[in-house]
Amino acid sequence: MLRLAHGILRIPLLLVSLFVLNIAANAQKFQDPYNDSVYFYLLNLKEGKNLELSRVLGDKKASDSLKYEIYGMRFIEMEAMENYWYAAKCIVDQGIILEHLGAESDKVLAKFKDALAYSEKHKDTTNIVWSAIRISKHYLNTGKLNHTEELYYTQFIIDNIEARMDPEVRYLGYNHLANRHLRYYDFKTALTYYNKSYELAKVSRNPGTSIFIGANILSVKNQYKDTLGVKELIQEIENLEHNGKKIVTPRFYIELSKYSNLFSLEERLDFMSIAEETPVEKLNKEVLNNYYHQKCELLAEQENPYDLRYYLEIFLKNLNQTPPTQKFFYPSQIEILFGKYYQLIEEDQKAIDHFEKSLKQALILDAPVLLEEIYQELYKGYQNIGDYKNAFHYLNLYNAHVDKVFSLNKVKEIEDLIVRYETDKKQQTIDKLQVEKEFTAFVSEQKSRDNRILRYFILALVLLSSLMVYLYVQNRIVAKKLKKLNVLKDNVFSVLSHDIRSPLNTFKSLLSISDRRELTTDEYKKYLEVVHTEVGQTSQFLESILKWAQANQNILPISQQSIDLSTLLFEVKERVSTDLKDKRSSIKILDDQPVIINSDKDLLNFIIRNITYNAVKFSPSNSEVKIMVIEKEQEAIVSIEDHGKGMTQEQIKQFYRGDMTASLDMTGEKSTGLGLALCRDFAKRLQISIQLNSEPNKGSTFTLHIPK
């Protein structure tokens, strides 16, 4: 009965728990009624919403969950106002809040990538780089360096950080790159990036940021014991002002209290005392963790286990309330502090256990900067309990790590020595050159007068030589062109005299026979047909000669117009059939559907007519010449196929080169090749591509690709 009653009581408790969990889920993780009431007030606000959102974001009572929702509201407002830069920033700020709330990495990275995609869409250089910085920084904070995406976005930052963008993004980007290099003891690169970041931050609209960047510079100097310029840098930071007020914060003095290689323990305790002038309740969680950590470190150095234990418990409690991405190396460092505490109260085994835990955490977090201290403490711990095997193991690890860091440190020292040596050497050279310069000044002045005259003479000679070379080259070009034209002229006149003489002789013979009246009517008609054919061929040839002359004188006009290709082909067919009717060859157009193109009608007619004319002329009698048209989206294809004597490979090459090649047609008459040469040139002017496929005794096919 008791168990049953207990079970019955558990049912309402379970229901209540589920109800509370449901409310918590629907309340967007709001922490108290203040957040709920403010959220619903803002949600229903009609006017002045943007101003009210800004006020709530600045209110310390507003939780991260509430701020997350407000940034969502502000994004909508900013996008409506077409303020895409601020809208992208709202998405980034939501991602930062998700980090603070300890959200899964996938969700955080997805938010930052949303901001990146939004910024790329609106070509917002600043927020493109800022989103990439946050992605890379998230990997750094979660100990996932050298992840494929981390390497990609880090390189992206390096490649784009010098682009024109908001200065704040630039100095935060340089600071992040420095932090990353510092993780691997790359002090030189880290210091270079920190210095760039510091100089940009000093002149930004928020110079307070330069304080913690300056502290980072001092941190690097502390790690390789470089005291040069330390006091000057601290003094410069302490004198920084914004709107007439000092802006140095407790965080800066907490950082100074860490630098054991730059300051004595007494000096560092003084720095901590300055930091403690600010009440603890006024410090945010991040600075508070930093304070408790350093307070414990100083108490361990003072060998004060009682106060150390007290502050360790406070530190641990505060750390448990810190989001994972803000814990940094603290999980490993707090284990080190517990180990030091147990060392002080002489419980060596417990101390070793905590140092071992610290080592595991450091390896998980990819924090090599912690390894030196951990190896050293483990070596001492195992030595104290007489476990010399493990003591020797960690001593070797410690020495190897110190050697690595020492080598990296010495690189910087050696580089500085080289720079100093080179500087001194250059100064000695400069002094020597100065003496020589004074000694040779007078001699140079005297020589300069003579050299001036010589330079003028050489300049005139060079100009005259250049003019002569130019005239010579131009003369050679003109002579070459004239020679080529002269050869063409001789060929044309030779062909012209032959081709015109033949029909004239035929016509003369006909007239002579007619005068003697020796011909019958049928014989006379046959002679007239011969004369008609030869006159047609001569007319075709003379037209080619005219086109050739116009082309060579650059006076051949080109007039684009709309042409029905089927009509043009019909005209060509009629003309060629009339001129060569004695061949008894037929011309067949396979597709006479209308095909509209834009081109020069006369030149296109000339090209197709000449190719068709040759196809008939070089084909045997009673053969068929086929003309086929294919219409495509961007062009019309005209194919002219004959079954004549065909062409050799050499003749095909000559056609593509534009050479005139004489040959004999099927009747033994000589053909000049001028028509085909002109077809090729005119096609080039009309942007028409001609393909020629031919074999001896198997005919030829000319394919014209005519753009629409």
Q: What is the pLDDT of residues 251-303, one digit of tens each?
A: 899 999 999 999 999 999 999 999 999 888 888 888 899 999 999 999 999 99
Whole-number Å distance between alpha carbons of 627 and 608: 10
Which tokens sit at 291?
């304070």
Which tokens sit at 701?
């096919």
Mean pLDDT over residues 496-507, rounded? 61
Are 126 and 84 in contact by the 8 Å Cβ rule? The answer is: no
- What digits encode the pLDDT tens for the residues 533-558? 667 667 766 766 676 666 665 656 77
Closest CA to 36 of 18, 16, 56, 15: 56
- What digits encode the pLDDT tens for the residues 241-265? 877 788 888 889 999 999 999 999 9
Look at 664 and 438; give whichever has higher pLDDT: 438
pLDDT value at residue 67: 85
pLDDT value at residue 43: 64
Whole-number Å distance between alpha carbons of 224 and 219: 9
The answer to whether residue 9 scores a pLDDT higher than 50 is: no
3-state SS, residue 303: coil
Average pLDDT over all residues of the chain: 80
Look at 243 and 1; give whichever has higher pLDDT: 243
Q: Partners of 275 in the beta sheet?
A: none
Which tokens sit at 78?
């900013």
- What digits encode the pLDDT tens for the residues 647-670? 999 888 888 887 666 555 555 455
pLDDT value at residue 553: 59
Mean pLDDT over residues 69-98, rounded? 90
pLDDT band at 22 (very low <50, low <70, confident <90, very high): very low
Mean pLDDT over residues 495-500, rounded? 56
Which tokens sit at 104?
């899964």
Highest mean pLDDT among 38-47, 93-102, 472-481: 93-102
Mean pLDDT over residues 219-228, rounded? 84
- What digits encode the pLDDT tens for the residues 194-217? 999 998 888 887 778 888 898 889
3-state SS, residue 704: strand
How far is the CA of 669 from the CAs of 137, 182, 219, 497, in angstroms? 87, 91, 99, 15
Strands (E), 570-666: 586-589, 596-600, 624-631, 635-641, 663-664
**If DSSP states are collapsed to H, E and C, what string results for 580-617?**
CHHHCCEEEECCCCCCEEEEEHHHHHHHHHHHHHHHHH
Which tokens sit at 406?
């020492």
3-state SS, residue 398: helix
pLDDT value at residue 5: 38
pLDDT value at residue 168: 86
Highest mean pLDDT among 423-427, 495-499, 556-560, 688-692: 688-692
- What digits encode the pLDDT tens for the residues 72-85? 888 988 898 899 99
Instruction: Provide the pairing of β-strand 624-631 with 586-589.
Output: parallel
pLDDT band at 24 (very low <50, low <70, confident <90, very high): very low
Angle ∠(197,200,206) on CA atoms, nearest 5: 105
The answer to whether residue 26 scores a pLDDT higher than 50 is: no
pLDDT band at 424 (very low <50, low <70, confident <90, very high): low
pLDDT band at 461 (very low <50, low <70, confident <90, very high): confident
pLDDT band at 454 (very low <50, low <70, confident <90, very high): confident
- The set of long-range contacts for 543-547, using a CB threshold of 8 Å and a minimum separation of 24, is 543/606, 544/610, 544/674, 544/675, 544/678, 545/492, 545/496, 545/674, 547/606, 547/678, 547/682
Weakest-pLDDT range from 82-96, 133-147, 379-393, 486-500: 486-500
What are φ and ψ of residue 494, in 5° steps? -65, -45
Are 407 and 223 in contact by the 8 Å Cβ rule? The answer is: no
The answer to whether residue 345 scores a pLDDT higher than 80 is: yes
The answer to whether residue 708 scores a pLDDT higher than 80 is: yes
Are 355 and 338 in contact by the 8 Å Cβ rule? The answer is: no
How far is the CA of 196 from the CAs of 161, 191, 221, 223, 242, in angstroms? 11, 9, 16, 19, 20
pLDDT band at 377 (very low <50, low <70, confident <90, very high): very high
Mean pLDDT over residues 607-616, rounded? 90
Rounded to the nearest 10 degrees, what angle do helices 601-617 and 674-685 cross at?
150
Weakest-pLDDT range from 31-40, 109-118, 390-399, 416-425: 416-425
Whole-number Å distance between alpha carbons of 497 and 504: 10
Residues contacting 502, CB < 8 A, separation 6+: 534
Mean pLDDT over residues 227-248, rounded? 85
Are 148 and 157 in contact by the 8 Å Cβ rule? The answer is: no
Look at 62 and 106; give whichever has higher pLDDT: 106
pLDDT value at residue 488: 59
Q: Go through the domains of the chain in sequence order and give each one's CATH number.
A: 559-707 (3.30.565.10)
State the DSSP string of 322-365: S-GGGTTTHHHHHHHHHHHHHHHTT-HHHHHHHHHHHHHHHHHT
Look at 463 and 439; give whichever has higher pLDDT: 463
pLDDT value at residue 205: 77
pLDDT value at residue 286: 83
pLDDT value at residue 177: 92
pLDDT value at residue 640: 95
pLDDT value at residue 27: 38
Whole-number Å distance between alpha carbons of 71 and 65: 10
Number of neighbours of residue 380 by Cβ within 10 angstroms? 18
Q: Partners of 483 in the beta sheet?
A: none
Position 390, amino acid: N
Closest CA to 189 of 179, 181, 200: 181
Weakest-pLDDT range from 85-89, 322-326, 385-389, 414-418: 414-418
Which tokens sit at 322?
């810190």
CA 50 to chain CA centroid, nearest Å: 37
pLDDT band at 10 (very low <50, low <70, confident <90, very high): very low
pLDDT value at residue 302: 95
The answer to whether residue 15 scores a pLDDT higher than 50 is: no
Whole-number Å distance between alpha carbons of 635 and 590: 18
Closest CA to 597 of 637, 571, 565: 565
- Compute the 3-state secondary structure of the chain and give helix, strand, coil in percent, each to the nearest 5: 70, 5, 20
**Burial zone of 343 (CB within 10 Å; 0-12 exposed, 13-18 middle, 19+ buried):** buried
Angle ∠(595,599,602) on CA atoms, nearest 5: 105
Whole-number Å distance between alpha carbons of 81 and 44: 19
Let me know how many helices (H) and strands (E) the chain has, helices first.
Answer: 25, 11
Weakest-pLDDT range from 44-48, 246-250, 590-594: 44-48
pLDDT value at residue 7: 42
Torsion angle in degrees (nearest 10) through CA of 480, 484, 490, 496? -150
Number of neighbours of residue 139 by Cβ within 10 angstroms? 21
